[in-house]
Amino acid sequence: MNTTTRYEPYVGDALADDAEFIAGGTDLVTLIRGGLRHPTAVVDLKAGDLSVGVTTTEDGWRIGAGTTLAMIEDHAELVASASVLSQAVAQAATRQIRNRATIAGNLLQRSRCSYFRDEDIPCWLKGGTSCPARSGLHEHLAVVDQGPCITTQPSDAASALVALNATVTFEIDDASSTIPVAELLAPPTEEHRRLHRLPHGAVIRHLDVPRPSGPSTYLKAMDRAAWQFALVGVAAVRHGDDVIVVASGIAATPYVLDAVSSTLAGDWSDDAIDRAAAAATEGLSPGERNGYKLPLLRGLTRRALDSLI
């Protein structure tokens, strides 16, 4: 494998099919060491002009793609006015990893399904013919049926960014595009066996996060107190009397719980919050081993809504 710090020649040009960008490396290096990725070249984005830091804009904040999770966690304005995001990143991994991991890399990280991470198992997401998790170990996996694969989306920040209506701007072939984070992160399909729709060779430049008009929170259930991916997470953002609630740990995407918002319908009474939390699990379809996620999701949704009154 050639390691290169050359960067500019690749931006605007096609990145070779078998090459990869690297930012903090906390996911990509694990994948290479685990025998899951075999890039012939690794292009270090940090050696180029990757933007790092959070700036205040007229409508909210612009977060450079190379901003670390720790920088977002510590950003005073985000802590005060978009706590859903600072809380989500603060509960990801460990501080040591958050000092290195970038926000763009966090959105693009690969599945954490144990079958996917096992180089000897040709699961569907890696190009195989079927998903062994469906009849196997799926305790940590999806309770929403979105296709052949039942992985969950591992990023905590992703749910917070979707609840904040954030957008992502990327560049490829000298052209820049801006799309909602909710569109970037899509369930894998036959043609795209990935958890995102970023074209190969595109570089994420920044995220734009609109300032929410109300309070927000991110709650996360893990099977130990730290350094774990979400069993279930709930990002909730109040926009006036309305609320957007997005779940982590239950689908291959951040999963927008529309039924919670429509059931609440601007009524923040105790009874309405009870009904809205109960609606969080409408239409979900757990397997034999992960039904426990449903009461967890209702409970976290209840607590999240309570905290926004």
Q: Residue 189: what are its φ and ψ, rounded to 5°?
A: -130, 175
Nearer to ligand FAD, 103 or 276 (CB): 103
Interaction between residue 83 and ligand FAD (CB under 6 A):
no
Shortest spacing between CB 157 and ligand FAD, in angstroms: 6
Residue among 57, 249, 69 at smallest CA distance from 144: 249
Among 15, 28, 273, 284, which residue interacts with ligand FAD (rule: CB under 6 A)?
28
Among 10, 11, 15, 21, which residue interacts with ligand FAD (rule: CB under 6 A)?
21
| Contact characters 204-243, ligand FAD, x per CB under 6 A | x----------------------xxx--------------
Nearer to ligand FAD, 97 or 308 (CB): 97
Find all residues with CB under 8 Å of 10, minimum gap 6, and list them: 19, 43, 201
Among 15, 64, 82, 105, which residue interacts with ligand FAD (rule: CB under 6 A)?
105
Instruction: Take residue 289 and report the two structure tokens written for it.
Output: 């081993």
Among 93, 162, 184, 257, which residue interacts with ligand FAD (rule: CB under 6 A)?
93
Interaction between residue 154 and ligand FAD (CB under 6 A):
yes
Nearer to ligand FAD, 63 or 236 (CB): 63
Residue nearest to ligand FAD (CB): 105
Interaction between residue 108 and ligand FAD (CB under 6 A):
yes
Residues that bind ligand FAD (CB under 6 A): 20-28, 30, 45, 65, 92-93, 97, 100-102, 104-106, 108-109, 154-157, 203-204, 227-229
